[in-house]
Amino acid sequence: MNVQNQEDGFLEIPHSADLALQVWAASLSGLFIQAAKGMYCLLRIENHEGSEVFRKMDMQEIDFENLLVSFLNELLVDLQLNKKVYDQFHLEINHPELIGDLTGKKISGVGREIKAVTYHNLKIAKTKSGFQTTIVFDI
């Protein structure tokens, strides 16, 4: 599993039945972006060379954790229904709202199915260098 760089990144961590991802970043928007990239990595994206796609997002939730789950679930459903994957993210996150401009590609398929992003023990923690969280995905 990819570890991006020391400041922002993600790492798959063991889980008995499902999948879990540890994510960290210097900023909250960076954390959301790394979580998205990590989820795509778990999904094993196939053929990233389709036509270019764009998406605008505007989401409001009761807290950052809800915002993160909703953001990832939106990406998941967009992938499952429309085969769209994004690799460029411009996110503005101001509690409890996310405004985003996303650019990506149509893909041919994925190598693994994720049923849902869960809230299991989800906590976005503030660290010395930024933010960190662990996300469990139901597969």
Per CB under 8 A, residues contacting another protein are: 1, 12, 14-19, 44, 62, 65-66, 69-70, 73, 77, 80-81, 109-113, 115-122, 136, 138-139
Residue with Cβ nearer another protein (99 or 139): 139
Shortest reach from residue 121's CB to another protein, in Å: 6
Cβ distance 41 to 49 under 8 Å?
no
Residue with Cβ nearer another protein (62 or 126): 62
What DSSP string describes 25-59? Answer: ESSHHHHHHHHHHHHHHHHTEE---S-EEEEEEEE
For residues 29 and 101, what is the distance between their CA atoms, to the nearest angstrom?
12
**Residue type at 35?**
A
Shortest reach from residue 58's CB to another protein, in Å: 16
> Alpha-carbon torsion 58, 61, 67, 69, what sign?
negative
**Residue type at 33?**
I
Shortest reach from residue 87's CB to another protein, in Å: 20
Residue with Cβ nearer another protein (7 or 113): 113
Residue with Cβ nearer another protein (77 or 125): 77
Shortest reach from residue 129's CB to another protein, in Å: 25
Cβ distance 21 to 133 under 8 Å?
no
